[in-house]
Amino acid sequence: MISAGDFRNGMTFEMDGEVFQVVKFQHVKPGKGAAFVRTTYRNVRT
């Protein structure tokens, strides 16, 4: 199991039986509210 804190640009991971690659990873710390991870990923097979 991978957590959101482990994401890095270019890494690959498996989700729902498909392999994905992280295209863009951004840790967002808004002024109000909790921090979160914004991630763009693509399917490696397509």
Residue with the bigger pLDDT between 1 and 14: it is: 14
38 within some domain: yes
pLDDT at 30: 94
pLDDT at 5: 81
User: Which tens digits make up the pLDDT trace of 2-46?
Assistant: 788 888 899 999 999 999 999 999 999 999 999 999 999 999 998
pLDDT at 33: 93
32 within some domain: yes
How many domains, in total, are found in the chain? 1
24 within some domain: yes
pLDDT at 41: 93
Give the neighbor-by-neighbor strand order of the sheet with 18-28.
Answer: 12-15, 18-28, 36-43
Query: Structure tokens of 21?
Result: 């690659």
6 within some domain: no
Q: Which of 44, 42, 37, 40 is nearest to 4 (CA)?
A: 37
Q: Which residue has the tokens 């909790």?
A: 34
39 within some domain: yes
DSSP strands (E only) in the chain = 12-15, 18-28, 36-43
Domain housing 26:
11-43
